[in-house]
Amino acid sequence: MNVHSLAEAHTPVITPPRIYYVHPLHLRGIDAWDAAFAHAAALGFDTVLSAPVFQRGHATSVFVSADVERLNPELGLGDSVVDGVSALVEAARRHGLAFMLDIVVGREAETRPDDGGPVDPRISPTVSGSRAVGTRNADEEAALVATWTDRLQTLAETGVSGFRCVGLATIPADTWRTLMSRVHERQRQVRFLAWTPGTSFDDRKALATAGFEASFSSLAWWNLRDRWLLDEYELQRTFAYQIAFPEAPFAKRIAHGTESSEILKRRAIRTLGLAATIGQGILIPMGFEFGAAMPLDPMHGHGTGIRGLKSQSSFDISQDIRAVNDRLAAATPGVGTPLTLIAGSATSVSALVQGDHADLRQADTVRVTVCNRDLRRSAATPFNAIREAASAFLPLCDIARPERALDADVRLAPGELRIFEGTASRPVLSAGAAIDARAAAATPRLAIEKVTPAVDEGRFPVKRIVGDVVTVEADIFGDGHDPLAAVLLWRPVDAQEWTEVPMQFVINDHWKAEFTLKRMGRHEYLVEAWRNPYAIYRYELGKKHDANLDLTLEIQEGINLIKAAEDHGPQRVQPELTALLAALSQENAEAKTQRLLAPETFALMARADRRPFGVRSAVIPVDAERKAAGFASWFQVFPRSQSGDANRHGTFDDVIGRLPAIREMGFDVLYFPPIHPIGTTNRKGRNNTLTPAPNDPGSPYAIGSPEGGHDAIHPELGTLDDFRRLVAAAADHGLEIALDLAIQASPDHPWLKDHPGWFDWRPDGTIRYAENPPKKYEDIVNVDFYARDAVPALWETLRDVVQHWVDQGVKLFRVDNPHTKPFPFWEWMIADIRGRHPEVVFLSEAFTKPKVMYRLAKVGFSQSYTYFTWRNAKWELEEYMREITTQEPKEFFRPHFFVNTHDINPDFLQNAPRPAYLIRAALAATLSGLWGVYNGFELCEGRPDAKRKEYADSEKYEIRAWDYDRPGHIKGEIALLNRIRRENPALHTHLGLTLLPAFNDNVLFFEKASAGRENVLMIAISLDPHTAQEADVEVPLWSWNLADNGSLPMEDLIADRAFTWMGKIQRIRLDPSMPFGIWRVR
């Protein structure tokens, strides 16, 4: 226990009473009283307190006494107060109980007879029929004190242990002080308890020093949320202790009401627990334990005692009361320490936090009582608020179940109260200083923080395009106010020397510098900072010179700095330093000062600077990729469907014939699904059936047959020479070929026979077929990257497969489902390939969780498919674009917006009208530098399969013959979008995006700007393919330093006309026939 003060150390320990309160009119005869005492003892009380037992006035309550020298005849205990009370004391003692009485000092029954008139409803029954006495003058007050001193001493001599003093405001606090002090002269052990509920706070402050041992809490009227109870509690801490009660004697019962007995019982148990928490002592009025609904009546009593109350029971919580009393009895007596209330705004649970010391910082233990205000619903605890309040005492353990600690998962049942306790945690002490003072002095004195751009603090490279300017920023600071200097150091990784760029101070310790990526491949940079001694000197010299001070000593200090630089600086600047010193030696003081302050001198000293206290940041890698990694327009075809005849397998030569039409639409990349031999085992039939017809070609993703595997070509497409000819022809048309890298195998792949150790075989000798839930691929099995013989053979073989196709002229790879293969493999393989061929680009087809998609980008994938496919609403598109353009992914994640794929027929496009295709094309082509189209989109093909996930009659499972000129196509609009993309650098990246207000949820309005804002577009796209949409849009005139009513010259890139927007609010209309507008700032 804490010792709060020397005075407290010498104060006798006072044990707060556990009081069972009885109504004497319910107890007729000594046997009824004896039964009540036995009942109280069984419940764990140590004291019985009775309402006044004196003879009352005519038709008055028991609190209005007519003769304090005589007993109330209704009690059946005789007439003598001394004899009757002595008998009650003796009976109580036989059960191990103390006996206390209520007293009302300063009021007595009216002496005039009752005239039988109506009762005044404004007067409480407890005082009705009484009058104040002994307060009119000093003589009356003295007489009152003398009379009551004798009465109380007499009662004390019978064995009464104390008194609850009711009607405190009837007489002054000083009178109470005098009365109690006189009683204590002869009966020191007598307790005086002040019934404080209902009295003013000012009265309580006065009464606290009057000699009362205890006060009473107003808990019974608390709503478990408002803080007035804590104000009262804090005020009454000046008493020795406080006594709480779940319901007040002679007041409304908790069990009174129309709610179910279950609800009423919960409330009773909860309030009982709170009373035991808030009070150091407790008072329970008789009948509370039985759920008595009718309040005690100060005018009447049934006289049947405990038996009569029990017969009216709504519920019985005797065991709960006994448990509370046992806990209070076992507690160490002490003064109540402050309470802290936590009432969560998002939960119905309140918490009371209390330590064993007035200052929680000095406490050894803490107790947290949590209770659910809601009697019908369970609720979570305000765990975080409790944890913060009791942070020095974790864990907090349930006193009923010590193994259960309070955490975020704890929920309270309806009306439940639980108590958690914690002990002050022992601090973690270091074994000793990690380093000695000399080593500490050698650690960096300056700090370099928040170096950007960086990905995971340099663990992965930042992604940029060759030719980009990389803006490096950092916070640089140190102790004191001395000037610092900083440089940016960068280099290609194949260079030995760093290129140094001075960093410029911006504001608030923030510095900036830039470098340009002039070569493709891996680069790296770091930031170096140091204290600049000459800058420090020059700054101070300038201040002193401005103040016209004597600078003799300062001039010599500057000369000494230059001499030190001459002695120890770089050889290349020594001649200039020598010349500088010679010039200084010939000048007067003013000329010397001006030379020492001159910019030329400062620049020379910067080149000679030895950079004291220099510190470097971590090295940050940067990948400079070719333009196609960030800007390209992809078109996908199945080569086998390019013959124009569904009954004839297409060839590479057929694809060559399609090149002009594809290029005419403005695409610059032609992407093929796998072109390798297709297995026959479990071959898929049309529409993904398991019953193929003899001529069904199967899925090209079932790679491998006796004709070969991933490094071979499906024989019906042509030969390797034919493929090389196709690559060359595509290049002649401005197209680049992209291949699909699908790391999987049909059961017929040569790998299964030649390298069985690359697979995970089941006990029955089979291999589980591939799955990508919810899809199943019965015609495919997967390799196991960590199988018995897989490392390094499988990894190197897959690397060699990629290298093989790179050697054939392929530099773009769309990788199928990379999220189902290990990150370490991708990081190693991509680094290996790009280390020799930095022009190679990998596109990740990973429709999976965001963090996995981002990790794949970090480990080396240049581009990624995205959630764009499923983002249709304005808020969805804006939220996603903010994520990838303004947050961390902008440094490493390049979105590739495919409007559709051979695996995905988007909901927005299924059986959709032509404008739906224009909408999705415009969104993809303008929001991202990378966009892609799967063959059929340009024809507005959207028929879904039976599951409405893929296309009906999918090319994955059959050869299709397309009518590329069928009515309703959008080839012209696609060509227009691609032309606008090529001509406007703002559309060469997903960055540079600013989402702008459009006051219509069906209209997306945004700005795309190139670096330096040399090319700025305003773009509006309707998201409604069925009806025309209008919207007021807000043009950011402030970006051009224009007023809200300014004019901005524009060019309509769709209609090819020039015009001017006047004012920042413009009205636009978008029709389904052309649901987008693109305007360029002239």
Q: Which of 581, 532, 538 shows the shortest CA–CA distance to 559?
A: 581
Tokens of 784: 């196991």
Which tokens hold the place of 103?
């007293």
Smallest CA-to-CA distance from 648 within 706, 695, 713 is with 695
| Distance, CA of 805 to CA of 783 (rounded, Å) | 20
Exposure string over 473-489, b if 16+ CB within 10 A, otherwise e: bbbbebeeeeebbbbbb
Place of tokens 């990740």: 844
Annotated binding site for alpha-maltose 1-phosphate, which residues? 684, 744, 779, 817, 956-957
* Selection from 504, 36, 397, 49 nearest residue 243 by Cα: 49
CB count in 10 Å sphere of residue 496: 5
3-class secondary structure, 486: strand
- What is the residue whose two structure tokens read 């606090």? 173
Place of tokens 């397998």: 649
Rounded-to-integer distance, Cα 945 and Cα 957, Å: 12
Amino acid identity at 74: E
Cα–Cα dist 852/847, whole Å: 9
- Report the distance separating Cα 425 and Cα 427, nearest Å: 6
Point out the residues that are catalytic: 816, 845
**CA angle, 38 as apex, 36 and 40 as ends, to 5°?**
70
Residue 623 is classified by DSSP as E
Q: How many angstroms separate the CA atoms of 981 and 993, rounded?
A: 15
Q: What is the CA radius of gyration of the chain?
A: 45
DSSP assignment of 806-829: HHTT--EEEEE-GGGS-HHHHHHH
Beta bridge pairs of residue 343? 350
AA letter at 136: R
With contact defined as beta carbons under 8 Å apart, do 45 and 97 qualify? yes
Element (H, E) at 524: strand 521-531
**Contact (CB, 8 A) for 50 and 100:** yes
CA–CA gap between residue 554 and residue 537 (Å, rounded): 9
* 529 vs 535: CA distance, rounded Å: 13
Angle at which helices 589-597 and 533-546 pack, to 10 degrees?
130
Orientation angle between helical segments 173-186 and 138-157, nearest 10 degrees: 40
Check: CB of residue 1074 under 8 Å from CB of residue 1067. no
Task: Kindly provide the b/e burial profile for residues 155-192, where b requires at least 16 CB atoms within 10 angstroms of the residue's own CB.
Answer: bbebebbbbbbbbbebbbbebbbbbbebbbeebeebbb
Tokens of 845: 């087809």
Closest to 334 in 3D by CA, of 280, 283, 282: 280
Nearest-angstrom CA–CA distance, 840 and 1073: 39
Query: Beta strand 1003-1009 with 1029-1034: parallel, antiparallel or unpaired?
Result: unpaired
Cis peptide before 1049 (omega within 30 of 0): no
- Measured distance CA(978)–CA(1014) in Å, rounded: 20
- Identity (one letter) of the amino acid at 644? G
Contact criterion met (CB below 8 Å) for 555 and 589? yes
3-state secondary structure 565-605: HHHHCCHHHHHHHHHHHHHHHCCCHHHHHHHHHCHHHHHHH
For the annotated binding site, the residues are: 684, 744, 779, 817, 956-957
